[in-house]
A and B are shown apart, each in its own frame.
Chain A
Amino acid sequence: MAAGEVEGGKPLNGLLNALAQETFHGHPGITEELLRSQLYPEVPPEEFRPFLAKMRGILKSIASADMDFNQLEAYLTAQTKKQGGITSDQAAVISKFWKSHKTKIRESLMNQSRWNSGLRGLSWRVDGKSQSRHSAQIHMPVAVIELELGKYGQESEFLCLEFDEVKVNQILKTLSEVEESITTLISQPN
């Protein structure tokens, strides 16, 4: 039985999951042979390899173009019509897979293309800092902020910053400028 004729959506869905893990989410390590023996045991290796390559290529094309659902349907329909393409059952499985995984794959692609550190987390606390000399008390609250930063595929780096109230308000003003900029960008027709 050829790979193209094997169906039930589960093996293909499993295959697409494994391909997504390897290609987008940075989790390689599932060998071709393991995939074949687990998902398509009745397909000989020399047939499985081109089948796998075809599915990988289709998934990459869809992700690279960030296809919306109209583009997806048109693309998959074209794939069913070409020589050595896919079956309409396979097209349906791929379509369903992309619809449920699109957001996560896109987020992985965004992370992969970021070569600076990304913001992984932010935690903070506010301390009351008091000094006293004789009986005069000076009360200076301090915000302690910890930023968790990290490059794709690397461990996090932690940056700890201290701010007094004046500085916090200065930053807040800066951030409102950032927000204004974003709002302007988003409201522009493109």
Chain B
Amino acid sequence: MEAPSEPRLDAKSEVTNQLVDFQWKLGMAVSSDTCRSLKYPYVAVMLKVADHSGQVKTKCFEMTIPQFQPQLLATSSLLSASNFYRQFKEIAAVIETV
């Protein structure tokens, strides 16, 4: 009987987590003490993730619109390259073919 083969984790984190929940909101930063005219929209994400033991943690982070999908804003610079949405589309395309 063969044992299941685990994916080789060469990621920088030691632990892989399962995603339990994905919540999001679209916010607008208007002004701050260092900049009176911020005016930028951002996507705030709250992930609930469970590790192998079942312990659930919450991770929050933010993305600018260009980080989420550069094509949505005419003024996007190419400085931020994450392109969160497009990368998930690519993952979906690849996982379908595997």
Interface string of B20-34 (1 = CB under 8 A from A): 001010101100101
- Count chain A residues whose beta carbon lies closer than 8 angstroms to a beta carbon of B: 59
* Contact present for B37 and A118 (CB under 8 Å): no
List chain B residues, Cβ under 8 A from A127: 7-8
List chain A residues, Cβ under 8 A from B62: 114, 116-119
**Cβ of A69 under 8 Å from chain B:** no
* Contact present for A175 and B73 (CB under 8 Å): no
**Cβ of A169 under 8 Å from chain B:** yes
* Contact present for A117 and B17 (CB under 8 Å): no
List chain B residues, Cβ under 8 A from A120: 82
Query: With A113-B32, A118-B62 as given contacts, are A129 and B89 in contact (CB-CB < 8 Å)?
Result: no
- Docked complex Cα distance between A133 and B94 (Å): 26
* Contact present for B1 and A134 (CB under 8 Å): yes
* Contact present for B29 and A158 (CB under 8 Å): no
Query: With A144-B7, A169-B92 as given contacts, are A186 and B73 in contact (CB-CB < 8 Å)?
Result: yes
- Docked complex Cα distance between A141 and B2 (Å): 18
Query: With A168-B88, A182-B72 as given contacts, are A149 and B59 in contact (CB-CB < 8 Å)?
Result: yes
Which of the segments A12-20, A89-97, A103-111 contacts the partner chain?
Answer: A103-111
* Contact present for A175 and B79 (CB under 8 Å): no
* Contact present for B9 and A179 (CB under 8 Å): no
* Contact present for A118 and B63 (CB under 8 Å): yes
- Docked complex Cα distance between A49 and B43 (Å): 42
List chain A residues, Cβ under 8 A from B2: 131-133
List chain B residues, Cβ under 8 A from A167: 19
- From B34, B72, B84, B91, A64 is in contact (CB under 8 Å) with B34
* Contact present for B11 and A178 (CB under 8 Å): no
Identify which of residues 132-190 in chain A touch chain B, using a CB-to-CB cut-off of 8 Å: 132-134, 141-149, 158-163, 165, 167-169, 171-172, 174-175, 178-179, 181-183, 185-186
- From B16, B49, B96, A144 is in contact (CB under 8 Å) with B16
Query: With A124-B87, A165-B95, A171-B22 as given contacts, are A119 and B17 in contact (CB-CB < 8 Å)?
Result: no
List chain A residues, Cβ under 8 A from B18: 161-162
- From B7, B11, B64, B88, A171 is in contact (CB under 8 Å) with B88
- Docked complex Cα distance between A159 and B20 (Å): 14
Identify which of residues 52-75 in chain B touch chain A, using a CB-to-CB cut-off of 8 Å: 59-65, 67-69, 72-73
Instruction: Give the 5 A-B CB pairs with smallest separation, nearest first.
Output: A127-B7, A141-B98, A160-B13, A66-B37, A158-B13
**Interface of A toward B, CB cutoff 8 Å:** 63-66, 103-104, 107, 109-110, 112-114, 116-122, 124, 126-134, 141-149, 158-163, 165, 167-169, 171-172, 174-175, 178-179, 181-183, 185-186
Q: Report 5 cross-chain contacts, Cβ distance below 8 Å, ordered by A residue.
A: A107-B79, A126-B95, A127-B8, A159-B49, A162-B16
